């Protein structure tokens, strides 16, 4: 393992004349973890790709010690640098050991030494605390184990400097903590890391230093103990953040959504829920509690086993997304890239997918009306884009989420079902999405929001329901969620309910 530092100096990059990075430089010592913070579009991923040799810089250089690292992946690998991308890319039809030693296979006279690779893979799995058979197909692994597989692959190739792009974006809380324990172990072994994340607690948990980029420029480079969260956020967005959550306006007495006797899955107690106009109801709970299933059941995307759902007093037909949309029910799904957007389509096409009747007649599109309506809604949402014909795949995560939300505003939705609405969204865009949600509530929408972010649940909701194993384990009013022990009470509801259920089964 090398003992020299990695540094990059005066790194600049532009696409089509638009600067993405301008004069970026930093130095990372062995065994040091450095967080790169910044809003989406700040240049974080581009910097990682340049260091990894995937993308050429227009200016500047990367060094390992005194040696310049040429701009290609072979040279980067020889310098001990490995990138673990946000979008995991294992070969799912190959086994764990085949993935680990891909392009670095053990062989003699052209014949693979499979036994040797399997033995080495077992050692790595033990080192990472994973009780897995090396001959298991990668496609059968959980997302958390796939993330660890990518890190193991980098370590197996001899890398001692890891570039981690949003390493926890798809992981559960348990998987995140397991990943952190392993990263701590790698740091003690002398491995260094440069990682990106949107989550301040993760920066505090992992980083020795924090580097902040804004609009492609280096704004802050500081030891983590010498800087406050407020200073980091202000450096990221270029302005004082103020209160993250807008003030909530009390809801009206008008009932919009009624869920009566609907079990989330067979064999569990039925759920009842009433949501008023202007009310934001939060769904809290542990991973796998049933929050997503509940929202999908209301929307008709998941089978409703019994009960009824009414919007403004009118019954919604079971298991019918079409009928839910006709009753102006909208779902913003957790996975926007796979379930919320068609990435190959542009902004206009994505934004009008559920509002075709409003912008067409007798099968003909009113293109001018369509563009005008989309432009009006996207300006309201403060969408950052170059042109309405721009593919949504080129937008940042926060702006992609605004397109998903905007689609339902075009249809004048009455009920909004939000599943992890700020997942993978930077702090600046997150604040804007909170503003949008509260404004929609003020306009009379009834909102049900599932979130794993406890501050989000407490700061944005009029009341909170705790979901556990498909049932409502407890409810907290607005006053109760703003008590100092609110988070403890929510976790207590979720965990004690699970424990009680397990005791009953035993």
User: What span, in angstroms and rounded, lies between the C-alpha atoms of 61 and 70?
Assistant: 8
Residues in CB range of 225: below 8 A, 6 or more apart: none
CB-neighbour burial class of residue 294 (10 A; exposed 0-12, middle 13-18, buried 19+): buried
Coil, strand, or helix at residue 164? strand
Q: What are phi and psi of 379, to 5 degrees?
A: -65, -35
Please give the C-alpha separations between residue 40 and each of 74, 339, 355, 358, 398, in angstroms, as whole numbers: 28, 21, 28, 32, 7
Same fold, 6-90+141-237 and 254-328+414-506: yes
CATH assignment of 6-90+141-237, among 2.170.190.11, 3.30.450.20, 3.40.50.300, 2.60.40.420: 3.40.50.300
Q: How do the domains of the chain map onto residue ranges?
A: 6-90+141-237, 254-328+414-506, 337-412
What is the DSSP annotation of 115-149? HHHHHHHHHHHHHTT----TTSBGGGS-HHHHHHH
Cα 257–chain centre separation: 28
Output the CA–CA distances (angstroms, integers) from residue 261 to 92, 170, 299, 304, 305, in the order listed.
41, 32, 16, 10, 10
What does CATH list as the number for 254-328+414-506? 3.40.50.300
Q: Tell me the pLDDT of the chain (506 aa) as tens digits.
A: 778 999 999 999 998 787 889 999 999 999 999 999 987 678 898 999 999 999 999 999 999 999 999 999 999 999 999 999 877 778 889 999 999 998 888 898 888 999 999 999 999 999 888 899 999 999 998 888 888 898 999 888 889 999 999 888 777 778 888 899 999 999 999 999 999 987 888 999 999 999 999 889 999 999 999 999 888 888 887 765 556 788 899 999 999 999 999 998 888 889 999 999 999 999 998 767 889 999 999 999 999 989 999 999 999 999 999 999 999 999 999 888 888 899 889 999 988 887 777 777 777 777 888 888 889 888 888 888 888 888 998 887 788 888 998 888 887 889 999 998 887 777 777 888 898 899 999 999 999 999 988 888 888 999 999 998 888 888 999 999 888 777 777 877 776 544 444 433 43
Position 495 scores a pLDDT of 63
Query: Cα(466)–Cα(286) distance, rounded to whole angstroms?
Result: 9
Pairing, β 463-468 against β 271-276: unpaired
Of the candidates 487, 481, 489, 467, the residue with the CA atom closest to the CA atom of residue 295:
467
The reported pLDDT for the residue numbered 430 is 80
* pLDDT (0 to 100) of residue 506: 37
According to the model, what pLDDT value does residue 198 have?
79
State the CB neighbour count (10 A cutoff) for residue 433. Answer: 22
Cα separation, 62 vs 51, whole angstroms: 6
Of the candidates 36, 173, 147, 228, the residue with the CA atom closest to the CA atom of residue 453: 173
Using CA of residue 121, residue 124, residue 126, residue 131, what is the dihedral sign? negative
Give 302-305's long-range contacts (Cβ < 8 A, gap of 24+).
Answer: 304/262, 305/262, 305/263, 305/265, 305/266
């Amino acid at each position: 393992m090398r003992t020299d530092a990695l540094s990059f100096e005066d790194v600049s990059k532009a696409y089509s004349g638009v600067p993405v990075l301008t004069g970026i430089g930093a130095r990372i010592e062995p065994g040091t973890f450095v967080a790169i913070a910044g809003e989406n579009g700040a240049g974080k991923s581009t910097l990682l790709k340049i260091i990894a040799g995937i993308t050429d810089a227009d200016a500047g250089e990367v060094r390992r010690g005194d040696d310049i690292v040429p701009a290609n992946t072979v040279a980067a690998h020889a310098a001990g640098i490995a990138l673990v991308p946000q979008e995991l890319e294992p070969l799912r039809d190959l086994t764990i050991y085949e993935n680990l030693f891909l392009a670095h296979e053990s062989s003699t006279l052209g014949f693979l030494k499979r036994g040797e690779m399997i033995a080495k893979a077992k050692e790595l799995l033990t080192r990472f605390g994973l009780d897995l058979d090396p001959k298991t197909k990668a496609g059968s692994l959980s997302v958390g184990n796939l993330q660890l597989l990518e890190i193991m692959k980098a370590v197996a190739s001899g890398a001692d400097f890891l570039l981690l792009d949003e390493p926890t974006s798809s992981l559960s809380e348990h998987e995140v903590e397991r990943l952190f324990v392993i990263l701590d172990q790698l740091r003690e072994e002398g491995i260094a890391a440069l990682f990106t994340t949107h989550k301040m607690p993760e920066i505090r948990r992992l980083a020795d230093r924090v580097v902040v980029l804004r609009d492609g420029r280096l704004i802050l480079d500081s030891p983590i103990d010498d800087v406050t969260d407020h200073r980091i956020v202000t450096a990221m967005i270029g302005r004082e953040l103020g209160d993250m959550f807008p003030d909530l306006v009390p809801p009206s007495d008008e009932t919009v959504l009624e869920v009566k006797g609907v079990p989330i899955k067979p064999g569990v107690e039925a759920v009842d829920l009433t949501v008023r106009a202007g009310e934001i109801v939060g769904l809290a709970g542990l991973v796998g509690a049933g929050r997503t299933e509940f929202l999908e059941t209301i929307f008709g995307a998941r089978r409703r086993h019994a009960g009824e759902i009414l919007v403004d007093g009118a019954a919604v037909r079971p298991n019918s997304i079409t009928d839910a949309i006709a009753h102006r029910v909208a779902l913003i799904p957790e996975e926007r890239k796979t379930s919320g957007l068609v990435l190959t389509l542009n902004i206009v096409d994505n934004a009008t997918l559920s509002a075709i009747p409003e912008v067409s007649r007798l099968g003909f599109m009113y293109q001018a009306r369509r563009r005008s309506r989309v432009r009006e809604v996207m300006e309201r949402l403060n969408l950052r884009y170059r042109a309405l014909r721009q593919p949504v795949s080129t937008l940042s995560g926060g702006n992609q989420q605004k397109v998903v939300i905007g689609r339902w505003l075009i249809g004048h939705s009455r009920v909004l079902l939000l599943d992890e609405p700020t997942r993978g969204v930077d702090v600046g865009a997150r604040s804007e999405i909170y503003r949008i949600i509260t404004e929609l509530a003020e306009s009379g929408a009834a909102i049900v929001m599932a979130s794993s972010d406890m501050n989000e649940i407490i700061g944005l909701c009029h009341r909170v329901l705790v979901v556990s194993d498909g049932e409502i384990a407890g409810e907290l009013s607005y006053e109760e969620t703003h008590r100092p022990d609110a988070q403890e009470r929510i976790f207590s509801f979720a965990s004690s309910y699970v424990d009680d259920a397990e005791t009953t089964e035993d």
